[in-house]
Structure 1
């Protein structure tokens, strides 16, 4: 259960970050390759807001898989957590090679930690 709770905590912090981006916080250097180091353009701010829904789905899958909540059928949360794990691993690659030093130094280690946590939850 601890890996799921830690993963949800990290997702919550990232959700706050994405909401801040969506509301115009000048933190663009940490995302989208750092192409917009200050305030993101409107389209990317919308994408940041939509990512909060993805984080919520990932969080509920993790909590369901860990037995904290019962929202999805067992097979759905089991398969869903493997999808989450794969998604996080694949997202580590562009962050690791991002032209943005800030994104590489902050988001890459964060994604590695999240990937490990997701793997532990998926293994159940």
Structure 2
């Protein structure tokens, strides 16, 4: 039950991040809430493409966690047993970057989200 709850929580949080990245890619003027706040307002085209690439990566991370928790893609389980540690490492880096960003708005919103993603991915990694 704890494993399923942690994987579900991770998936909900990463879905929020994916939706935010999709909004940035579509041109929403929320640049101060991403990428260190370096691009306030609408992101330039290359950064919007980067958002699309991040969406793919984030979706793969979610699938790895869900597979490790035996919720989706049982055929990925062997890969997920190892790859989940990449998810944990990714979450550590995301947490550190969101804690040290110069953008106060980004830090206030995304640091708690990334820390919760770290905790939930670690629970999944250790629980299965």
Distance 1:60 1:11 in 2: 11
> Could you say which residue in structure 1 is the equivalent of 2:56?
53
> Could you say which residue in structure 2 is the equivalent of 1:62?
65
> Could you say which residue in structure 2 is the equivalent of 1:4?
7
Does residue 83 in structure 1 map to residue 94 in structure 2?
A: no
> Could you say which residue in structure 2 is the equivalent of 1:33?
36
For residue 73 of structure 1, report the CA deviation from its aligned partner: 4.0
> Could you say which residue in structure 2 is the equivalent of 1:94?
97
Aligned length: 124
- C-alpha change, 1:30 and 1:61, in structure 2 (3 Å) is same
> Could you say which residue in structure 1 is the equivalent of 2:112?
109
SS in 2 for 1:67: coil
Show structure 1 runs of 5+ residues with no match.
Answer: none
Show structure 2 runs of 5+ residues with no match.
Answer: none
Distance 1:79 1:70 in 2: 15
- C-alpha change, 1:72 and 1:31, in structure 2 (3 Å) is farther
TM-score (norm 2): 0.92
Distance 1:24 1:70 in 2: 33
TM-score (norm 1): 0.94
Query: Could you tell me which of 8, 20, 23 is aligned with 1:20?
Result: 23
- C-alpha change, 1:52 and 1:40, in structure 2 (3 Å) is same
